[in-house]
Amino acid sequence: MEIITIFLAEGENHVRQAIRISLDHQKEFKIIGEASCAESLLAQIGQKPSDLILLDWNLPGMHPQRIISVIRRYCPQTALFATGVRREQGKAALAYSVDGFLLKGLPPDEFVSKLIDLLKDTNLGSK
């Protein structure tokens, strides 16, 4: 598997750092950018194209449906996984056409394992 580049959009600093630490220990992932709000994410994704965006379902600054629409328009080849704290957020996220959903409360090894499983269902799984 080639290295998969990830842009991490997470509103809570401690959660963003925890995800970063978990992914930094994996040789197949490289975080190339971070944002704590929708404005920052949208300002950066065109300059830092990534293979995958991990999007906080409650990212401050814009309704999830709107931000997903903008991301899809400007980064159509980028996989988009939403992250949230409740399973029902996953159902809503999938209804808005994200490629996958991850619970933030999973232990780090389970989070990474679930991420890898979800990637297998995308074109990145063979990368």
What confidence tens digit (pLDDT) does each residue in 24-60 have?
A: 999 999 999 999 999 999 999 988 889 999 999 999 9
- Burial (CB count within 10 angstroms: exposed 0-12, middle 13-18, buried 19+), residue 67: buried
Q: In what order do the strands lie in the sheet with 79-84?
A: 29-35, 4-9, 52-56, 79-84, 100-103
Summarize pLDDT for 104-114 with one digit per residue, the tens.
999 999 999 99
Q: Which residue has the tokens 């600093």?
A: 13
19: Cα separation from own chain's centroid: 10
The pLDDT value recorded for residue 127 is 56
Output the pTM of the full model.
0.93
Average pLDDT over residues 5-17: 96
Cα gap 23→67, rounded to integer Å: 24
Burial pattern 73-94, b for ≥16 Cβ within 10 A else e, equals eebeebbbbbbbeeeebbebbe
First to last CA, the chain: 5
Residue 13, pLDDT > 60, answer: yes
SS3 19: helix
Architecture of domain 4-126: 3-Layer(aba) Sandwich (3.40)
Q: One-letter amino acid identity for 54?
A: L
